[in-house]
Amino acid sequence: GTATGGGGQSGGADDGVITLGFSQVGAESGWRAANTKSIQDTLTAENGFDLKFSDAQQKQENQIQAIRSYITQGVDVIAFSPVVETGWDAVLEEAKAAGIPVILTDRAVDSEDESLYESFIGSDFVKEGQMAGEWVVDQYDGEGYKVVELQGTTGAAPAIDRKEGFEAAIEGSDLEIIDSQTGNFTRAEGKTVMEGFLNKHDDIDLVYAHNDDMGLGAIEAIEAAGMTPGEDIKIVTVDAVKDGMQALVDGKINYIVECNPLLGPDLAEIAKKVVAGEEVEKRIVVEDQAFDQEAAKEALPTREY
Ligand code: AHR
């Protein structure tokens, strides 16, 4: 299934097998683990794929290197989840020149030239941030809440968009973001940054974490400081992975907006169509729900991830 190269369209799956090179962001969170599993479980030999997978450890240069290597190998399709939004045009132009189609999953690039990729499959992160902000306003407006924000990886689409959506939703309320820093989407950094916030501010009412893992790190920091997470300091997060949902059921997190990581099936379908030369939708929006404690209790027993 490897392309013969020479420009123009890729060689396609002439042996019936689609060789797909996937460059993953890293292994920073429970969400990412579920996303990787979905991709590896779906793009199987039985399903007609030869999956080449690489983990970029949250480094753009590693992703660019992986993509270049997929171009050199002449894969049929390249798919990746860009760690940050900017700086992709050069390598995407190389893929285009080699006739290898590119599919974006999970995170977007900010390229002006939309012909550099076939399709973008993923959630609406602005909407996720907005859902989080709307719930917070609905619950706590009028109480003068002081909010600290644990941002995702600097420059990543979900960090930029979840911040923007949340800020828009709380505008006009009396909620105030008093501090905001990146915790790089990891539990360890979420904990460290929260420790710093707790040392600096004695009036924190609520943590808005851009993912469950950073919220779980914040729980550890709050407990270590002798306070009760979910009560003394409220916590709102995004993802709804099992560990987050368990903390919500336990009352340590107050609300979670979902981000669905199960992108494998959509990726497989779009990749097959692209290789077959069929038209595909430029943007496939994955729908997300949100959970309060009651909803989490109901959903957790049958949660897939
Ligand atoms: O891009 C999706 C985000 O990346 C998830 O919300 C976060 O957990 C992951 O690291």
pLDDT digits (tens, 9 = 90+) for 100-141: 999 999 999 999 999 999 999 999 999 999 999 999 999 999
Q: Is 288 in the pocket of ligand 1 (CB under 6 A)?
A: no
**pLDDT computed for residue 28 by the predictor:** 98
Please work out, in degrees rounded to the nearest 5, the angle formed at the alpha carbon of residue 164 by the alpha carbons of 159 and 169: 130
**pLDDT computed for residue 246 by the predictor:** 98
Q: Is 133 in the pocket of ligand 1 (CB under 6 A)?
A: no
Q: Mean pLDDT over residues 131-160, rounded? A: 98
Looking at the CA of residue 241, tell me the nearest atom of ligand 1.
8
pLDDT of 9 over the 50 cut: no
What share of the chain has pLDDT > 90, as a percent?
A: 94
Q: Is 24 in the pocket of ligand 1 (CB under 6 A)?
A: no
- For residue 14, how far is its CA from the centre of ligand 1 (angstroms)? 35
pLDDT in tens, 34-84: 999 999 999 999 999 999 999 999 999 999 999 999 999 999 999 999 999
pLDDT of 33 over the 80 cut: yes
User: How would DSSP label each residue in the chain?
Assistant: -----SSSS----TTSPEEEEEEE--S-SHHHHHHHHHHHHHS-TTTTEEEEEEE-TT-HHHHHHHHHHHHHHT-SEEEE--SSSSS-HHHHHHHHHTT--EEEESS----S-GGG-SEEEEE-HHHHHHHHHHHHHHHHTTS--EEEEEE-STT-HHHHHHHHHHHHHHTTSS-EEEEEEE-TT-HHHHHHHHHHHHHH-S---EEEESSHHHHHHHHHHHHHTT--BTTTBEEEEEE--HHHHHHHHTTSS-EEEE-----HHHHHHHHHHHHTT----SEEEEP--EE-HHHHHHHGGG---
CB 243 within 8 A of CB 212: yes
Q: Is 36 in the pocket of ligand 1 (CB under 6 A)?
A: no
pLDDT of 8 over the 80 cut: no
**pLDDT computed for residue 1 by the predictor:** 56
- For residue 7, how far is its CA from the centre of ligand 1 (angstroms)? 35
Q: Is 275 in the pocket of ligand 1 (CB under 6 A)?
A: no
Q: What is the pTM of this model?
A: 0.95
Looking at the CA of residue 106, tell me the nearest atom of ligand 1.
1
Q: Can you say how many angstroms the Cα of residue 92 is from the centroid of all Cα atoms in its chain? A: 21
Q: Is 31 in the pocket of ligand 1 (CB under 6 A)?
A: yes
pLDDT in tens, 173-197: 999 999 999 999 999 999 999 999 9
**pLDDT computed for residue 15 by the predictor:** 77
**pLDDT computed for residue 5 by the predictor:** 40
Q: Distance between CA 55 and CA 60 in Å, rounded? A: 11
Q: In what order do the strands lie in the sheet with 290-291?
A: 176-182, 146-151, 206-209, 234-239, 255-258, 290-291
Pick from 186, 177, 242: nearest CA to 214: 186
Q: Is 106 in the pocket of ligand 1 (CB under 6 A)?
A: yes
What share of the chain has pLDDT > 70, as a percent?
A: 95
pLDDT in tens, 10-26: 445 567 899 999 999 99
pLDDT of 255 over the 60 cut: yes
